[in-house]
Amino acid sequence: MHRSRTATTRKESPMNPSTINDIDFQQLFQSIAPEFISDNVFTLAYSAITAGKQHHYNSMIGSGGGFGLFFKKPSTWSLLKSDRYTLELIQKEQSFTLSYFPRQYNQQALFLGSESGRNTAKMEEVELTSVQLPSGNISYAEARLILECNLTAITTPSPEDFYSPEALHYLAEAYKEPSDHRKIVFGEITHAWVKR
């Protein structure tokens, strides 16, 4: 069953089905400067991280990260397992989006973390409406906030770089297998989009 389609082709959607087919991305969202994002950053812990273009993309749920200045640019950072398919696409495309949803879409968003999209049809089964941004990057029409990022850096933290007991415990678990190693992904926020 193919349920994840772009806004121009999707037939069923939690949004008004009579209008979604006629609305383009800039009718759904407006651009704001990153410094005008009004959310408390601690409420932005869970996001759908998406990389790729319309013909092939993948999303996952990110549950950790942050915001700030990196090389004097407004930036994000996320902690991803090194075997994530989305991470592979981020490296290939060197751009990605972070999408934040109203609470009523939590279940649909969490589905993106249910399995890998590398060898499954996960992206065809998700009950969210994919939309193409003007840049060609992909997000979802149901999102309330989208951050569009260019890849700045990917680094692998060493266990010797951490000191708190919580961090040491986390790293001990994360480094049991090479595929479990975490990568810190830094992205410059090039656009912030909010729902109109």
**pLDDT tens-place string over residues 57-71:** 999 998 888 999 999
pLDDT by residue for the chain (196 residues), tens digit each?
A: 334 444 433 333 444 333 334 458 989 999 999 999 999 888 887 899 999 998 899 999 988 889 999 999 999 999 898 889 999 999 999 999 999 999 999 888 888 887 777 877 788 888 899 999 999 999 999 999 999 999 999 998 877 888 899 888 877 777 777 667 789 999 999 999 999 9
**Residue range 151-166, pLDDT digits in tens:** 999 998 877 888 899 8
Torsion, Cα 31 34 38 43, to 10 degrees, reads 110
pTM across the whole model: 0.83
What CA–CA distance (Å, rounded) separates 50 from 100?
A: 11
The domains of the chain, with CATH numbers, are 44-191 (2.30.110.10)
| DSSP string covering 9-45 | T-S--SS-HHHHTT--HHHHEEEE-GGG--S-GGG--
